[in-house]
Amino acid sequence: MQIVTTIEELRSIVKWWRGEGHSVGLVPTMGYLHEGHKSLIVKAVSENDRVVVSDFVNPTQFGANEDLSTYPRDMERDAALCEAAGADVIFHPSPEEMYLEDNCTFVDMNRLTKGLCGKTRPTHFSGVCTVVFKLFNIVTPDRAYFGQKDAQQLAVIRRMVRDMNFNVRIVGCPIVREADGLAMSSRNAYLNEKERKAALILHKSLVLGEEMLRAGERDAGKVRDVILKNMRTEPLARIDYVELVDAKNLEPVKKIEGPILAATAVYIGKTRLIDNFHYDSEA
């Protein structure tokens, strides 16, 4: 496995692969990899001849008061995980390699990014779209892999790929959880022992909502209220949002008809965590 830091070198490797007739998979990450990332890499390795994992803490997707400077990093551990999972290349560019000083182009969308996390993080998805766009142009992958934990990100990227005619297949992969149910996230590293316990409230509350849906409840407001009420039993939790939205266009729903996404963002101390589940009343 190779660690590549320049766009030019990565391009020349991909060109060589293409000359050999190899298919290429891309797993975009911000590093500090966990079992969730690993599941994406393993899936990519099973479906492509060659796999690139990008490992880049993308500054443009952080807001001014967010955790860019403290975001956890551990390149050595990341490299070991990627190698074990079967990746061929880690792409680990500097911010200066990815964004020239007078960089001024961006990708954005005027739907899908306004609600859910977009409300609290109004510039986040433009940063995500822009960097993913750049990575697609650098790697020209056949398939790209994203986790369902970032459900809005996945929906936004699917829409971007469709709207902009990218010839890339987007593969969404299930949330990977700790034994006690907490969705894996690089940001879990921020949590102290008390917060780590409190963080369970996201999954536990969502499960209550999911059980209501499985039992036949079709009033989204009632499901949301139960989730919210349970969240509020945790004194360390400050709720950003709990929403039930259409799984494709991410517009809030009142009645459950067809596929929906139930998503939440909650601050546990200073750490903002997200979790979600999909439910399809017609499946």
Question: Which residues in this chain contact its own copies in the complex, by CB under 8 A?
Answer: 7, 11, 100, 102-112, 129-130, 133-134, 137-138, 140, 159-160, 162-167, 249
Distance of closest approach, residue 87 Cβ to its own copies, in angstroms: 21
Q: In the bound complex, what is the minimum distance in angstroms from residue 145's beta carbon to its own copies?
A: 20
Catalytic residue among 22, 34, 37, 124: 37
Q: Is 124 a catalytic residue?
A: no
In DSSP notation, 146-204 reads EETTSHHHHHHHHHHHHHTT---EEEEEPPPB-TTSPBP-GGGGG--HHHHHHTHHHHH
Of 7 and 239, nearer to its own copies (C-beta) is 7
Q: Which residue's CB is nearer to its own copies, number 69 or number 105?
A: 105
What are the CA-CA distances from residue 280 to residues 70, 72, 218, 258 (Å)? 38, 35, 11, 5
Nearest to its own copies of 139, 199 (CB atom): 139
- CA distance linking residue 262 with residue 156, whole number of Å: 16
Task: Write the CB contacts of 69 (distance below 8 Å, at least 6 apart in sequence).
Answer: none
Query: Cα separation of 146 and 158, whole Å?
Result: 10
250-276 as b/e: b if 16+ CB within 10 A: beebeebeeebbbbbbbebeebbbbbb
Residue closer to its own copies, measured from CB, 91 or 190: 91
Taking the complex as a whole, the smallest distance from the CB of residue 53 to its own copies amounts, in Å, to: 18
CB of 107 to its own copies, least distance (A): 5
Query: Residue 236 class from Cβ within 10 Å (0-12 exposed, 13-18 middle, 19+ buried)?
Result: middle
Nearer to its own copies, 44 or 138 (CB): 138
Q: What is the nearest approach in angstroms of its own copies to the Cβ of residue 279?
A: 22
Active site residues: 37
